[in-house]
Structure 1
């Protein structure tokens, strides 16, 4: 009888140690999974969610996250009048409801190969092609309005003119060549653009 109890105690102790070891392994596996999770992956999971972005050296942007490319996100303004493109390198922090933030830490969506290839340059070339008026905000909070004339691999050319005016030679008051690393936000004149 005593030996039976002794073996039961040993078995219980082994089970307890095994469960503790398994829990430690599960915790370590979760840490490893989280260590590989990128900001872009988490933001892609928040598509369709209202968020607020604090932008480095510029005003924040708030609205519904409409998409995430390889190095940028798109946001439709809460007011609906404007859309914005924010490069990932310009994001200081993201505010969202706690359930959304928790859900974003466990991505359910597969990575879209197309979204992975859609770089900031791709988006800016599309904006240039559509001739959409923009307000560009760069490091230090400096901003200009105008139309993107062309977008290269690491920079774009902006024809400066008054907001809401179409790009005409007579309306252009100057030109800027802007490097992507300096870009903080790009606000489109209209959400449809």
Structure 2
């Protein structure tokens, strides 16, 4: 009888040690997984969430909205239902992303790269689509400048913006100037009207 209790105690100790070791291994495995998660993958998880986030941008202040799409090096931020305007944000312009605890935890737990197609769509791809649509935009630069106009061309690392008054169509007579803007100087591109990019 005494030996039975002795062996039961040994089994309990061994079980406790194995549980502690497994918990430590699980914790370390989670730390290693998190060490490999880029911001982009967390934004992909946020795009499946309906809660708004606040995004601080280099030189362009903060914007609030829902993450709706994520590309290779950009994401789309949709405003509230009142404006529903979409802002394209290059990842390189992000200073921080503010979110609720639930959104932060979802973005950690469900982080993943998304589809292979979205992983290949760079900011140049999106800007070339805006060229095709002839959409009026406000380009916010990392130095705080805001430029209103229409994107005429988008190259491999820059775009051409024809400047004109917001709310007016791009006509040769309404263009007041042109700017060539490197992608690295871009903090955000806000569409003048609600668009189906969201």
TM-score w.r.t. the length of structure 2 is 0.90
CA distance in 2, matches of 1:111, 1:45: 9
| Change in CA separation of 1:55 and 1:110 when aligned onto 2, cut-off 3 Å | closer
**Structure 1 residue 108, shift from structure 2 partner:** 7.0
CA distance in 1, matches of 2:176, 2:77: 29
Matches for 1:41-190 after TM superposition, within 5 Å: 41-47=41-47, 48-78=50-80, 79-107=82-110, 111-190=114-193
Number of the residue aligned with 1:15: 15
| Deviation beyond 6 Å, 4+ runs, structure 1 | none
TM-score w.r.t. the length of structure 1 is 0.93
* Paired residue secondary structure (2:194): coil
Is there any run of 5+ residues in structure 2 with no aligned partner, and where? none
> How many residues align structurally?
193
The answer on whether the counterparts of 2:45 and 2:112 sit within 8 Å (CA) in structure 1 is yes
> Cα RMSD over matched residues?
1.7
| Change in CA separation of 1:85 and 1:13 when aligned onto 2, cut-off 3 Å | same
CA distance in 2, matches of 1:148, 1:110: 29
CA distance in 1, matches of 2:99, 2:171: 41
- Residue 34 (str. 1) matches residue 37 (str. 2): no
